[in-house]
Structure 1
Amino acid sequence: MADVKICGLSDPRHVAAAVDAGARFLGFVFYPKSPRAVTADEAALLFADVPVGVARVGLFVDPSDDLLSDVLAVAGLDIIQLHGHETVERVAEVKTLTGLPVMKAVGLSGPADLPQLMDYSLVADMLLVDAKPPANADLPGGNGLAFDWRLLVGRHWLRPWMLAGGLTPANVAEAVRLTGAAVVDVSSGVESAPGVKDVALIRAFVEAARE
């Protein structure tokens, strides 16, 4: 049984569906290249009916200090998710700047990528273990790609972690069983088209993750 983060929300109907289904984390993308991108003003409206106890996660890709400050001045986030090429030092700077917990996404394609997880666990409050995007990808995540989950079997880090990358209602239960992930993160796996969430898929994903 795993908790769920639904990422890339941009429609109040889908925010409500995620909350109603029992998601514990809601992700909002502040990266203009993404089909799931929202502005700070849009996010503030989406947050209006998010109940206490459901974490609002802001996804940023190599953000400037100004962008972080501008978003936080308008939209009350609970967690900052860094999904770019941020260094360990930059993660620490963002924690100091925002005063919020920071989750760092790390892309995996093979065993050589695993040491990064320990490096980032020294400074980040949480880790997001994702599939490494292709070299020519426009987006650092949300590409619907999975990695070999066996890479994570029996491994532990200094911080809590979430599993992401190619998860769907059909495979999430197996992913949780194999990796022991306590939290799973989904975006494209609950969409009918890029950036368009599907209420039925959201419900099915949360149910499957909690089997």
Structure 2
Amino acid sequence: MRVKICGITNLEDAQDAVELGADALGFVFYEKSPRYITAQDARQIVDKLPPFVQTVGLFVNESSKHINDICHLSGMQMAQIIDDEDNTEFENLNMKYLEVIRAKSKSDLEYLNKHNYYLVDAFVEGFGGAGKRVALEWFENIDCSKIVLAGGLNASNLQELKKYNFFAVDVSSGVEASKGKKDKEKMKEFIQKANGN
């Protein structure tokens, strides 16, 4: 499975994640998050990354213009968008995007467009990094090959995902030493497990 390490706030964590084999790095542009980073600070990290590592900006209920502007300033290649309030005009985005489904029940997953990729996270009152898991039984009889799974993942529970064939996994709190600071050993173990090692 591909791995995205989300909530990157500093260069050391970014470089460690890449060295350990992360496919993508996530940067949180939601000001109320303890993992929030400014576009300028994110750009300083992005400019030092090697090629072929995807950079993903996380946005919550923002306009398309705001997302376009921040992605341009920060060097994001993709936007990951929570749009609970219908603020985002997706057709006006200048980059690839991944829509976030904050699942409350299995019914939230049954009518997804099978041609699109989605990130599925557990619904929580706040946004992101709460460590809550989506019930895996909701994915029974659903094609998960275009789903990125997030929420409550860590190295010890990745084995349970194997039979579902998710496209990728997205982890934040599960590989942290503290909010906004990653634990290199946790990242190493997580990426190894995701790769079947």
TM-score exceeds 0.5: yes
Measured in 2, the distance between the counterparts of 1:13 and 1:179 equals: 33
State the match for 1:187 in structure 2.
172
Structure 2 contact 65–93 (Cα < 8 Å) conserved: no
* 2:54 is the counterpart of 1:55: yes
Deviations 1:182-206 (A, max 9, x none): 2100001001222221111111110
* 2:146 is the counterpart of 1:167: no
Q: 2:104 aligns with which of 86, 109, 125?
A: 109
* 2:16 is the counterpart of 1:17: yes
Structure 1 contact 35–195 (Cα < 8 Å) conserved: yes
Unpaired stretches in structure 1, ≥5 consecutive residues? none
State the match for 1:208 in structure 2.
193
Structure 2 contact 13–181 (Cα < 8 Å) conserved: no
* 2:95 is the counterpart of 1:100: yes
* 2:132 is the counterpart of 1:145: yes
Distance 1:98 1:114, change over 3 A: closer
SS in structure 1 at match of 2:26: strand
Measured in 2, the distance between the counterparts of 1:28 and 1:169 equals: 21
Pairwise CA distance, 1:66: 4.1
Q: 1:198 aligns with which of 165, 183, 197?
A: 183
Pairwise CA distance, 1:76: 1.5
Structure 1 contact 153–178 (Cα < 8 Å) conserved: no
RMSD: 2.0
State the match for 1:79 in structure 2.
78
TM-score when normalising by structure 2: 0.90
Aligned residues between the structures: 196
Pairwise CA distance, 1:156: 2.1
Letter in 1 for 2:98: M
SS in structure 2 at match of 1:8: coil
Distance 1:178 1:140, change over 3 A: farther
* 2:28 is the counterpart of 1:29: yes
SS in structure 2 at match of 1:171: helix
SS in structure 1 at match of 2:156: coil
Distance 1:180 1:153, change over 3 A: farther
Letter in 1 for 2:164: T
TM-score when normalising by structure 1: 0.85
Measured in 1, the distance between the counterparts of 2:178 and 2:111 equals: 32
Give aligned-pair identity as a percent: 33
Pairwise CA distance, 1:67: 2.2
Pairwise CA distance, 1:71: 1.1
Unpaired stretches in structure 2, ≥5 consecutive residues? none
Pairwise CA distance, 1:160: 2.2
SS in structure 2 at match of 1:49: coil
Pairwise CA distance, 1:173: 2.5
Structure 1 contact 106–117 (Cα < 8 Å) conserved: no
State the match for 1:131 in structure 2.
122
Deviations 1:2-56 (A, max 9, x none): 1100001001110001101111111000000000000110110110222221110
Structure 2 contact 17–187 (Cα < 8 Å) conserved: yes
Distance 1:153 1:112, change over 3 A: closer
